[in-house]
Structure 1
């Protein structure tokens, strides 16, 4: 009989390494409105350290993807190819991107599309922001017992 290959363990491998816990920052978030605007609330802008009045961004999505699942915001110094924030009626700031989102397959017209914002290093000390789109699940239909008084028509038929 052939001897099987066996990997033997050492007593040192039987110890559990405990990592120090890092306090998680509360997640920065926003949403895409039903009119196709990327909306960032003031609280999210404060967490990220963005001055919406003077900030401008280059906006992109991952290459070779037909549908947009995340959007990248990279700070831009020039105003030519950059998008800037507009004051939103809801108390935050928005960037209108309806045509780009529609071409990217994002269904923002039926419901708000929420997203989470994470930071990433773009290049040479430039910090970019990734907006990862979340799935929108429709609210399930109410299937419970109807409450309240019966309509007058139903009362007349019951008598």
Structure 2
């Protein structure tokens, strides 16, 4: 046997595989059927938000017709900000008119969102809400692409 055809193992390869650390899930919430952004208590705890005292500036990407992302920026100003209200077990922000203008049909479709933390300004942390629906993607109904399947000769 030639020396270049032998693969040698190391002691590290013989060590038992370590368990993978579970990926940390992103904080989530949903849009209610009445057009409120609902944030569960667990999500607020993960984000470190005090719901009764924190007010938010709410925005969206400029120049977009439909809302796919919302931005919540904590602010101490009373003017031009939204307050959270207690609803059920969680807290919510009513945004029904803004969501309708942004093309979000919350009355017929259940929307959820994942929250990502980003740095807005020096010392100010913002929250990006990526909107998505809970229903599966519709089945493709267009023209099939690629090679045509071969017909079975023995089946005739």
Q: Compute the TM-score of the two structures, normalised by the length of structure 2.
A: 0.71
Q: Residue 82 in 1 paired to residue 88 in 2?
A: no
What's the counterpart of residue 6 of structure 1?
A: none
Counterpart position of 2:119: 121
Post-superposition shift, 1:110?
A: 0.8
Summarize deviations over 1:6-40 as a string: whole Å, max 9, x none: xxxxxxxxxxxxxxx99743210000001000000
The reply to whether residue 105 of structure 1 matches residue 134 of structure 2 is: no
Distance 1:23 1:128, change over 3 A: farther
TM-score (norm 1): 0.70
Count of residues in correspondence between the two structures: 119
User: CA 1:61 to 1:22, structure 2 compared with 1: closer, same or farther past 3 Å?
Assistant: farther
Aligned counterpart, 2:31: 32
Question: Residues 76-107 of structure 1, C-alpha deviation per residue, up to 9 Å, x if partnerless?
Answer: 11111100100012x10000000000000001
Q: How does 1:44-63 map to 2 (within 5 A)?
A: 44-63=43-62
- Three-state SS of the structure 2 residue aligned to 1:133 is strand
* Distance verdict in 2 for CA 1:47–1:86, change over 3 Å: same
Instruction: Please give the alpha-carbon distance, in whole angstroms, between the structure 2 residues aligned to 1:106 and 1:112.
Output: 10
Unaligned runs of 5+ in 2: 1-19, 139-156
Question: How many angstroms apart in 2 are the aligned matches of 1:130 and 1:99?
Answer: 20
User: Gaps spanning 5+ residues in structure 1: where?
Assistant: 1-20, 141-159
Deviation at 1:135, TM superposition (A): 2.7
Contact 1:33 1:111 (8 Å CA) reproduced: no
Question: What is the distance in 2 between the residues matched to 1:85 and 1:32?
Answer: 14
Root-mean-square deviation (Å): 2.1
